[in-house]
Structure 1
Amino acid sequence: MALAGRSRHRTGLVLAITLPTAAALLLLISMCVCFWRRSKPAVPYSTNQDEIQSIDSLLLDLSTLRAATNNFAESNKLGEGGFGAVYKGVLSEGGQEIAVKRLSQSSTQGIEELKTELALVAKLQHKNLVRLVGVCLEEKEKLLVYEYMPNRSLDTILFDSDKSRDLDWGKRLKIVSGVARGLQYLHEDSQPRIIHRDLKASNVLLDSDWNPKISDFGLAKLFGWDQSQAFTSHIAGTYGYMSPEYAMRGQYSVKSDAYSFGVLVLEIITGRKNSSFANSEQSIDLSSLVWEHWTRGTVEELLDPSLGGRSPGGHLLKLVNIGLLCVQHNPEDRPTMSMVNVMLSSNTVSLQAPSRPTFCIDEMEGFSGMYSTEGSKPEGVSVNEVSLTCPDS
């Protein structure tokens, strides 16, 4: 009993000594870890350059771009979008004019857009796709540098009553054909295949000879050679250019881009924004309006007034036909871009008659609220509202 008592006493003495010592040691270790974490230098943002080692030749110094844009002066700002602003600049070495896309520092989606654009645009080589000149990732700046397009974006001219007079019928045909060739390259000839997902007038840039170049690949998706479609729960893009299946179910494919192309074609013909019908008392959108005139044989009445009624009748009817085919409700009824290019270049190929390009507003009841201009919306979605009508029952 005495031995047992002494044993318990020694055990208690050991615990009384070791427990406070262990606690003090743990406290000391914790303090050291905290101090180490606080004193550890922050990893500079420029380390993200490791992610783009494959395009080292495109890296530009921030000082070079600050000098080129006069420190991103407001007077050099060309425009601003959901991911940031674009500035005009001139490189001191060689005098090359550039457009610098300055992504928002606070937007995490801007970082993802940057990575996507770098991965795609650096490898794309086509005369109807905008060319990447350089990239800069320094001091938390995220900058993409593109070739400068003197005639800016298509929307700044097409939807301006004065400037649109510069877009005669020949130039409009040139723009439609160039965009179609650029999309065909993305869908069929690039490796891997690419779905743009945000084709619209503001993402079509025009050089000094009015050649169109597709830009803004931040929402683009890669497709395998044997892949025909994909789904997403994050609907991103511009409402009004989105295909019905993408807007309502998140399903996208080459036919989604074809739909956006069809809307663009109808805008180029009429000079009217698809979104201009959002607050209209008429329950109709641009494609439905064009369809009604198509069935009545009065499409000439929809021709952009700035054209002064001048357009080759055959070309106008063919272009309207192609535009309506591209905005068909069923994706399978829309042509591929290679088919569109055949239609545009041939005077002998017969064109299929389009069906009424509408889908029911009832299907959109739960969707439209998600993209209200007055409510919250997912970042990356540009809300160009459009009235939708139901097919006749």
Structure 2
Amino acid sequence: MICTKRIKDKNFQENGGKFLKNQRVRIFSEAELAKATNNYADDQKLGEGGFGSVYKGVLTDNTVVAVKKSKGMDKAQMNAEFQKEMSIVSQVNHRNVVKLLGLCLETKVPLLVYEFISNGTLSKHIHNKGSRILASWTNRLRVASEAALALDYLHSLADPPVIHGDVKSVNILLDSNYTAKVADFGASVLMSPGQTDILATKIQGTLGYLDPEYLMTGILTVQSDVYSFGVVLVELLTGEMPNSISKSGEKRNLIQHFISALETNNLFRILDFQAADEGEMDEIEAVAKLSKGCLNSMGVNRPTMKEVSDELAKLKALHQKSLAQQNSEETEHLLGESSHSFCKNASPHMNHPRL
């Protein structure tokens, strides 16, 4: 027991515990998180990434959390990854970014404790045809706008700015209200003020979503996130994954297939949902054209994340206004029918009381 305590104390100090315990972040014990996750049982596993696995846990006060645990690779490398992710998430505060609740410093490689996001990944809802959350254009547009807001915040308003580095539908989560939350900062980098790119020591990210310019040059830029977000928009529109399999069983490049459909006026043939009316068709076409801009092979020719976010916010506002107008017209129509029915059925000899 004494040896175990000494090891935990040593890990705590090496992992920056003296400094971190004075920060506004909760410090968890190793035993506390082991109990919460049923000792990291397989049935508690929520997902797996480059850094490690994420487990669902329930604390003694019944708070549900997500615990990120390293794969037990090289300690120096894992610690560097942890320090990088912690330095990013501990200073990021946005309603559309997953919150860091605390950490455990008693293990060789520290554990990160995040808020638990109950409705899983955007990818799950796009590709599981049993999910009805994305059945309407209203929800698809809203989720796209919320994710864009988070990325715009990381690029423009976070201090220092952040390049996410691995934007994909698996890293966009939906909470109990189906609000989008951007997650997983294992591939992210902090930028110096005025800096817009960084020469990566190794290519990180996910094939199909990776910026081709970044793949060729090894230079990661804020526009690399824009490209990846463009892929997510196409995924939201078509319901297909990058490098998907066509109905004939052949592999095809989703991006080329999408751009070809857009340029030959066949966009509405490849959509994963039905547009409700002409207004929605116009909005869908606008988002499709925005996606194409994000997917430009040259980063300098892509819109900024702020421009993307502003355009989606504008389309969302127009959509909500249109919905409100339709609801108002339907209400007036129903009230008119109700009034007409009442007058038709009322007796002509009815006595009206005097006030």
Per the shorter chain, which TM-score range?
0.7 to 0.9
Which one has a bigger Cα radius of gyration?
Answer: 1
Q: Is this contact kept in 2: 1:80–1:86, CA < 8 A?
A: yes
Does 1:203 pair with 2:171? yes
Q: Is the 8 A contact 1:103 1:141 kept in 2?
A: yes
Q: Where does residue 340 of structure 1 map in the other structure?
A: 308
Greater than 6 Å deviation, 4+ residue runs: 278-281
Deviations along 1:41-70, whole A, 9 cap, x unmatched? 878322233265263632111111112112
Q: Which residue of 2 aligns with 1:12?
A: none
TM-score (norm 2): 0.80
Paired position in structure 2 for 1:104: 71
CA–CA distance in structure 1, aligned partners of residues 15 and 158 of structure 2: 25
Alignment partner, residue 267 of structure 1: 235
Query: Alignment partner for residue 14 of structure 2, among 39, 42, 48?
Result: 48
Which TM-score applies when normalising by structure 1?
0.72
Q: For 1:32-111, what aligned pairs fall within 5 Å after superposition?
A: 44-50=10-16, 53=20, 55=23, 57-93=25-61, 95-108=62-75, 109-111=77-79
1:139-154 counterparts in 2 under 5 A?
A: 139-140=107-108, 142-154=110-122
Corresponding residue for residue 320 of structure 1: 288
Contact 1:179 1:213 in 2 (8 A): yes
* Deviation per residue, 1:184-231 (Å, 9 max, x gap): 111010110111111111111110111111111111111122212222
AA in 2 matched with 1:314: D
The alpha carbon displacement at 1:347 in A equals 5.5
Aligned residues: 304
Superposed counterparts of 1:290-329, under 5 Å: 290-304=258-272, 307-308=273-274, 310=276, 312-329=280-297
Partner of 2:134: 167
**Equivalents in 2 of 1:265, 1:248: separation in Å?**
23
User: Offset of 1:279 from its aligned partner?
Assistant: 12
Cα pair distance change 1:194/1:58, threshold 3 Å: same
Letter in 2 for 1:324: K
Aligned pairs for 1:194-273 within 5 A:
194-273=162-241
Structure 2 segments unaligned to the other structure (5+ residues): 1-5, 317-355
Closer, same or farther: CA 122–316 of 1 in aligned 2, 3 Å = same
Partners of 1:280 and 1:332 lie apart in 2 by 36
1:105 partner letter: G
Matches within 5 A, 1:339-358: 339-346=307-314
Provide the C-alpha distance between the structure 2 equivalents of 1:149 and 1:245, rounded to a whole number of angstroms.
Answer: 33
Letter in structure 2 aligned against 1:50: G
Per the TM alignment, residue 176 of structure 1 is displaced from its structure 2 partner at its CA by 0.5
Displacement of 1:277 in angstroms is 4.9
Q: Equivalent residues in 2 for 1:368-383 (5 A)?
A: none
Cα 1:63–1:57 change in 2 (3 A) is same
Aligned partners of 1:104 and 1:142 also within 8 Å: no
Task: Specify the SS of the correspondent of 1:238.
Answer: coil
Q: Judging changes above 3 Å, is the alpha-carbon distance between structure 1 residues 153 and 347 closer, same or farther for their aligned structure 2 residues? A: closer
- What is the deviation of 1:154? 1.3
1:302 Cα offset (Å): 1.1
Classify the secondary structure of the residue corresponding to 2:40. coil
**Aligned partner letter, 2:12:** S
Counterpart AA for 2:113: V
Q: Which stretch has the larger CA shift, 339-348 or 154-163?
A: 339-348
* Paired residues of 1:204 and 1:213 also in contact (CA < 8 A): yes
Worse-superposed segment, 52-61 or 315-324: 52-61
Please name the residue that 2:161 is paired with. Answer: 193
Return 5+ residue gaps in structure 1 as ranges: 1-40, 349-393
Distance 1:61 1:271, change over 3 A: same
Change (3 A) 1:244 1:142: same
Percent of aligned pairs with the same residue?
A: 34
| Counterpart in the other structure of 2:334 | none
TM-aligned CA distance change 1:347 to 1:162, over 3 Å: closer
